[in-house]
Amino acid sequence: MICPRCNDEHVEVLADSPVPDVWQVFQCQHCLYTWRSTEPLRRTSPEHYPEAFKMTQADIDNAPMVPSIPPLLPEDQR
Amino acid sequence: MPYDDLRGFLEALDEQGQLLRISEQVKAEPDIAAAANATGRIGEGAPALWFDNIEGFTNARVAMNTIGSWQNHAISIDMPANTPVSEQIAEFIRRWDKFPVAPERRDNPPWAENSVDGDDINLFDILPLFRLNDGDGGFYLDKACTVSRDPTDPDNFGKQNVGIYRLEVKGKRKLGLQPVPMHDIAIHLNKAEERGQDLPIAITLGNDPTITLMGATPLKYDQSEYEMAGALRQKAYPIATAPLTGFDVPWGSEVILEGVIESRVREIEGPFGEFTGHYSGGRNMTVVRIDKVSYRTNPILESLYLGMPWTEIDYLMGPATCVPLYQQLKAEFPEVQAVNAMYTHGLLAIISTKKRFGGFARAVGMRAMTTPHGLGYVKMVIMVDEDVDPFDLQQVMWAMSAKVNPAGDLVQLPNMSVLELDPGSSPAGITDKLIIDATTPVAPDNRGHYSQPVKDLPETKEWITKLTDLIAQQAKERK
């Protein structure tokens, strides 16, 4: 299985349905996209996943930081 | 009677025909979000939705759209369901004046029934999580209150903050949390991170409507949401002590998550379909580690759909944004008559005011931009005269069309602050802001030809009464 959003191959199971064998929730360990197996194809299949929502390595690297991390205060002012 | 928990509010909605139970089996996706989305597309007065038959779950119960119409908003503040919006806001303002009302600390909160700690936590075991919009990066908690304290003044009750921030479930006990830099939790986080410390937090899920409204209300930094909740519900607000952090949390919540925002850590999060009607894009966002979960047996998951406005969040945030802006402006400028900041959490606001002298109205508009909420919102202000009702868009459009000469009535301020989610900001978080002065110029601002307004005839009032009576009589005779 590969991630529908970033095509990475490292996908793990995050949850199984309380009623056995109905669905599973998967999570991509690279872009952290999370989906349930019973969702529509546009959310679960790499071929059908909308181009606009695909996530590349550059998207991850360049994502703005919210909020930015402040400089550490000197030890004596903490 | 004010509601001490979500269940009491749901009962009140049910009694007044504002809770629709969906008994057929639905899929977690896309049905729950699509149904909640549809409540905003079926006209006025949409009910709350209740789901308890969700494919693959055994005991899942989900409530949506509990505040997603003016009727539901009225019931949430314990007013008759048919109360007009302007009266709901006027009552909100009246109750605000009773601030502060000390909270009531209670024992034996229902969420103490069950608890789980550390690595035994799996949020998917406790909550029927689901996705809202196609492009969302995952499953979100978008109606939870997050409680945090000022790390440099942890015993200050007023500085303890209760706010609603989006939370992405990113693991069995891991969340992503969005602290918008203009919001109080970002101040707490900044102080913790510059000291290299984690920021303890308590997240409360499935809450009574009053604290939900307060979580969406931009109070001043040292004003307590619990003390304002008491004012709004006209009775002391019930709180309890969270077991791990010792923070004050709602007594009646369904679930309490406690943990920390990990210091100086950011990780890819999102996108998420936001209240602006646009996705946020992927962000490197804070990471929350959950260390303890306390919960009622079979807790109800409350969530809201948001997307292209209007959706539930617009009803939830609308009055809650108008009232603090009005109160903060009125404190300094008693000339201010009313504030309508119901559009996209106040990215646009319409303010009516009397004028002390020429140029006064635009000064009030600038002040709105420098209120705590204005710093991150209030991108556009339309200033109107005191006899224009800012909630009556016909009147506002008349003022815009007849009172504005772009030669002197547009004030554009470059490179001002706005929340990064504003899709027009560039770079994200920076935008020009605009005041449109649609008030009548007064001396020494002598522009235009406004000396001869057409006024309603003196006899019109009498005829309003007469016509209203005649129409009612005619309708009665027809029956």
Q: Based on the fold, state whether residues B424 and B338 are members of the same structural domain.
A: yes
Residue A66 lies in a domain: no
Query: What domain count does chain B have?
Result: 2
Spell B159-175 as b/e; 16+ CB within 10 A means b. bbbbbbbbbbbbbebbb
Residue B461 lies in a domain: no
Per-residue model confidence (pLDDT) at position B181: 86
Q: How far is A49 from chain B (nearest CA, A)?
A: 9
Confidence of residue B458 (pLDDT cuts 50, 70, 90): very high
Alpha helices for B279-350 (secondary structure H): 312-332
Residue A6 lies in a domain: yes
Average pLDDT, integer, range B190-203: 98
Tell me if ipTM is over 0.90.
Answer: yes
Q: Which of B130, B271, B284 sits opposite A66 (nearest CB)?
A: B284
Per DSSP bridges, beta strands B19-22 and B48-51 are: parallel
Q: Based on the fold, state whether residues B75 and B151 are members of the same structural domain.
A: yes
Structure confidence by residue, pLDDT tens digits, B304-314: 999 999 999 99
Q: What is the DSSP letter of B437?
A: E
Tokens representing residue B123 in the block: 């949020």
Structural domain that includes position B13 = 6-303
Annotated ligand binding at B195? The verdict is no
Residue B418 lies in a domain: yes
Annotated ligand binding at B278? The verdict is no
Interface of A with B in 39-78 (CB under 8 A): 39-40, 42-43, 50, 52-53, 55, 59-60, 63-67, 69-73, 78
SS3 B381: strand
Query: What domain count does chain A have?
Result: 1
Q: Based on the fold, state whether residues B273 and B355 are members of the same structural domain.
A: no
Q: How far is B142 from chain A (nearest CA, A)?
A: 16
Q: Based on the fold, state whether residues B364 and B406 are members of the same structural domain.
A: yes
| CATH number for position B352 | 3.40.1670.10
Cβ–Cβ contact B118 with A under 8 A: no
Structure confidence by residue, pLDDT tens digits, B140-180: 999 999 999 999 999 999 999 999 999 999 999 999 999 98
Q: Which of B193, B254, B258, B274 is catalytic?
A: B274
Whether A60 sits inside 8 A of B268 (CB atoms) is yes
Residue B190 lies in a domain: yes
Whether A60 sits inside 8 A of B282 (CB atoms) is yes
Q: What angle do CA B57, B61, B64 make, to 5 degrees?
A: 125
Q: Based on the fold, state whether residues B167 and B244 are members of the same structural domain.
A: yes
Structural domain that includes position A55 = 1-60
Whether B134 sits inside 8 A of A33 (CB atoms) is no
Dihedral pair phi/psi, residue A35, rounded to 5°: -150, 160
Q: Which of B303, B320, B345 is the last residue of a domain?
A: B303
How many residues are recorded in chain B? 479
Structure confidence by residue, pLDDT tens digits, B323-348: 999 999 999 999 999 999 999 999 99
Q: Based on the fold, state whether residues B243 and B354 are members of the same structural domain.
A: no
Q: Based on the fold, state whether residues B365 and B249 are members of the same structural domain.
A: no
Q: What pTM did the predictor assign?
A: 0.95
Cβ–Cβ contact A25 with B under 8 A: yes
Residue B71 lies in a domain: yes
Query: At B327, which amino acid appears?
Result: Q
| CATH number for position B248 | 2.30.110.10
Residue B112 lies in a domain: yes
Residue A78 lies in a domain: no
